[in-house]
Amino acid sequence: MLIDASRATLLVIDVQEKLIGAVSDPAGTLARTRWLLAATAELGLPTVISEQYPKGLGPTVASLLEAAPAATVVEKTHFSCVGGECLPASLLERQQVIVCGMETHVCVLQTVLELLERGQQVFVVEDACDSRTAQSKAAGLQRMRDAGAQIVTREMVLFELMRHSTHEKFRVISKTFLVGEQP
């Protein structure tokens, strides 16, 4: 199944100021997540950003919010966004959810498993997820794959959202996000 722009939304989980330094590749994770947010914002994809206990862990990293100013930001204390009942109806009404964030083996995993239980199609953006260790990230991705989530990359997301080179945003996307060295 392909990602369908009319049925999909992006969910970015817990990329927060006090958490980012704890993952295995903080600079890369931040750059790749910002890239994904900016590219999908250019395409007009609805976006939700979750924050795990922001009073203690700080807000979402500012550069991510700048990349997607129209994103809805929600707070939670549950590890799962679904279990935390923080997701807006607009996300839950869409059949497809594109997910990225941290940590892959905790909050991302639990959210994805519960989205799948709800019957949604879930696409986990592997290159925009991270954990404290590569082993934990790999285990989380494998468990999500085994449960039925599709594991994708940022470029797969963009090309599936556009579907063809005559898409009205293809030139802007290709010139802005697909040339030169990518994060």
| CB count in 10 Å sphere of residue 18 | 14
Neighbours of 16 (CB within 10 A): 22
| pLDDT for res 181 | 86
Identified catalytic residue from 14, 86, 129, 137 = 14
Long-range contacts of 160-167 (CB under 8 A, 24+ apart): 160/2, 160/3, 160/4, 161/3, 161/5, 161/8, 161/40, 161/43, 161/45, 162/5, 162/43, 163/2
Inform me whether the pLDDT recorded for 94 exceeds 90: yes
142's tokens: 């494998």
Every domain of the chain and the residues it spans: 8-177
Say yes or no to pLDDT of 168 above 90: yes
Q: Respond yes or no: is residue 169 known to be catalytic.
A: no
| 182, pLDDT greater than 90 | no
Summary mean pLDDT of the chain: 97
Question: Residues 100-144: pLDDT tens digits?
Answer: 999 999 999 999 999 999 999 999 999 999 999 999 999 999 999
* Catalytic residue from among 86, 100, 107, 129: 107
pLDDT above 90 for 14:
yes
What's domain 8-177's architecture? 3-Layer(aba) Sandwich (3.40)
Mean pLDDT of 31-36: 98
Reported as a single tens digit per residue, the pLDDT across 52-67 is 999 999 999 999 999 9
With a pLDDT cut of 70, the percent of the chain lying above it is 100
Q: What is the pLDDT of residue 159?
A: 97
What percent of the chain shows pLDDT beyond 90? 97
The answer on pLDDT for 45 being more than 90 is yes
Confidence at residue 6, expressed as pLDDT on a 0 to 100 scale: 97
| Confidence (pLDDT) at 27 | 97
Which residue matches tokens 């994904």?
A: 36
- Two tokens at 11? 């969910």
- pLDDT grade for 180, boundaries at 50, 70 and 90: confident
pTM attached to this predicted model: 0.98
95, 121 Cβ separation under 8 angstroms: yes
Is residue 81 among the annotated active site residues? no
**49 sits in which H/E element:** strand 47-52
